[in-house]
Structure formats: structure tokens, C-alpha cells
């Protein structure tokens, strides 16, 4: 079994400035600000959220916080790929992304709403805190192993892995897909169809943030239907 924290979201009434898991708003940097830049546009990526790295889930690793960013530009593809420079999972302490600037704040989650008695439609930034419940996932099973299970057992196993969570075992929408190399652990699973905000992960996509075995590097990828 693998420990996890299931996530429930709530809209924040005021900015969250603690080292906790949250989505939107502005990052609470653990050390020097490192804001990733899109490889294609050289513009700052959009901040999606930050994840507190809990030692009860991940053991003793140097990283204490992780920060997730995705390029939000209609002309940019390949935000799904962990190595194309259009998303970034920044760990602190940890290794920086290839392109970044030392900026503490930048683009974040938002929604469009009417202002000035409906005369203008303007963006409003969003911020969500999380309530977390500790639990366990079954150990991850490869596609080959799953295919050998009876249908009801296979479906029950996959169903137990769904949802938004920190840690646990990944529920892949498509084929098994981990970052290159051994020892990667699931840091965050984010189901875009089960969150109270918009994040572009394709058609009902699910995002997977991973932390390396040594706890110094993060990678993010997503899959969709």
C-alpha cells in the first residue's frame, strides 16, 4: 500500500501565505523566487499551485515545497510533455528549470467576471486552499499485470486510484507513463474534470507531478481522453 492525501478544495477568502498545498493565488516561495519561462514564447508560465512535501508521505527528502507551472498560450503545444519546456515543477530546495526569472509573482488562475455594473468583463484571480485526508492507495500495477486480472478486480483497482491527491499511485488515463529514469514517485494527481477552476489539460485530462528518488527534481506530464 502507498500513503496518500486526498484533496478537497475550498475558495480562499484572503491570500494564503503559508507553506501549504494550494492552487492559484501567488506562490509562497520557500527560498529565492524562480518563475519558469516558456521555451516557445519566453514569457512567464501560469502558476497552477504549490504542493507541500509531507515527510510522512515521501520520507526524508531535501525538497520541502513544489511549485507547478504550465504555459497558457493558445499557440503553444506540448504542455503535456515533461521535457519540452512548456510546463515546470519547481522544487525548493532542488534543481531549477532550464529557463526562469527571479520574479516572486506572475500569471495565475483566474476567471472572467462582469465589473462596473456589467459594463466590462475583466479577469479575477482565483485562489483555493485544500483540506486533506490521509489514506492509502494499492500499489501501482503495470498495464501487463492489470490485463491478467479478472475484469471486476481490475476495475475496482483502477477506480480506487482516481481523484485529486498528493502521493499515492497514479491512475493513468492512457498508457503507463513515468518520467525517464527509475525511482520517480507520484507527488500530485490533478483531475481537471474534478477541480473548481480551469486548467488546460486537454479533454478531461489528468495531470501527474512526480518527484525524483533523490528528492531534488520534479517533472510534470498530463494525459487526456
Q: What is the CATH number of the domain that holds 31?
A: 2.30.320.10
pLDDT at position 120: 61
pLDDT, tens digit, for every residue of 41-67?
999 999 999 999 999 899 899 999 999
pLDDT at residue 103, rounded to an integer: 96
Query: What pLDDT sits at residue 148?
Result: 92
pLDDT at 93 over 70: yes
pLDDT band at 73 (very low <50, low <70, confident <90, very high): confident
What's the whole-number mean pLDDT along residues 17-24? 98
| DSSP label at residue 107 | -
Is pLDDT at 112 greater than 80 in this prediction?
Answer: no
pTM tops 0.75: yes
Our count of domains for the chain comes to 1
What is the DSSP secondary-structure string of 173-198? SSS----SSS--EEEEEEEGGGSSS-
Is pLDDT above 80 for 137?
Answer: yes
Cα dihedral: 209, 76, 224, 210 (round 10) = -10
- For residue range 163-182, list pLDDT tens digits in order: 999 999 999 999 999 999 88
**What pLDDT is attached to residue 77?**
86
List 186's β-bridge partners, or say none: 210
Considering only the C-alpha atoms of the chain, give the largest distance between any 2 of them, rounded to a whole number of Å.
Answer: 61
As given in the structure block, the three cell numbers for residue 122 are: 475583466
pLDDT averaged over every residue in the chain: 93
The label of the residue with cell 503495470 reads: 142
Amino acid at each position: 500500500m502507498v500513503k496518500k492525501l486526498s484533496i478537497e478544495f475550498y475558495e480562499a477568502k484572503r491570500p494564503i501565505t503559508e507553506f501549504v498545498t494550494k492552487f492559484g493565488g501567488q506562490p509562497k516561495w520557500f527560498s529565492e523566487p524562480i518563475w519558469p519561462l516558456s521555451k516557445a514564447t519566453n514569457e512567464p508560465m501560469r502558476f497552477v499551485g504549490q504542493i507541500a512535501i509531507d515527510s510522512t508521505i515521501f520520507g526524508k527528502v531535501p525538497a520541502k515545497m513544489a511549485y507547478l507551472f504550465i504555459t497558457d498560450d493558445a499557440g503553444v503545444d506540448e504542455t503535456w510533455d515533461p521535457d519540452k519546456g512548456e510546463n515546470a515543477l519547481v522544487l525548493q530546495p532542488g534543481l531549477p528549470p532550464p529557463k526562469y526569472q527571479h520574479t516572486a509573482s506572475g500569471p495565475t488562475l483566474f476567471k472572467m467576471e462582469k465589473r462596473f455594473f456589467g459594463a466590462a468583463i475583466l479577469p479575477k484571480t482565483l485562489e483555493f486552499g485544500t483540506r486533506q485526508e490521509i489514506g492509502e492507495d494499492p500499489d501501482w500495477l503495470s498495464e501487463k499485470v492489470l490485463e491478467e486480472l479478472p475484469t471486476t478486480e481490475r476495475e475496482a483497482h483502477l477506480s480506487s486510484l482516481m481523484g485529486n491527491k498528493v502521493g499515492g499511485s497514479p491512475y493513468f488515463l492512457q498508457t503507463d507513463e513515468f518520467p525517464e529514469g527509475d525511482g520517480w514517485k507520484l507527488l500530485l494527481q490533478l483531475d481537471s474534470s474534478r477541480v473548481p477552476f480551469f486548467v488546460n489539460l486537454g479533454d478531461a485530462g489528468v495531470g501527474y507531478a512526480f518527484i525524483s528518488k533523490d528528492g531534488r527534481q520534479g517533472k510534470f506530464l498530463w494525459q487526456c481522453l
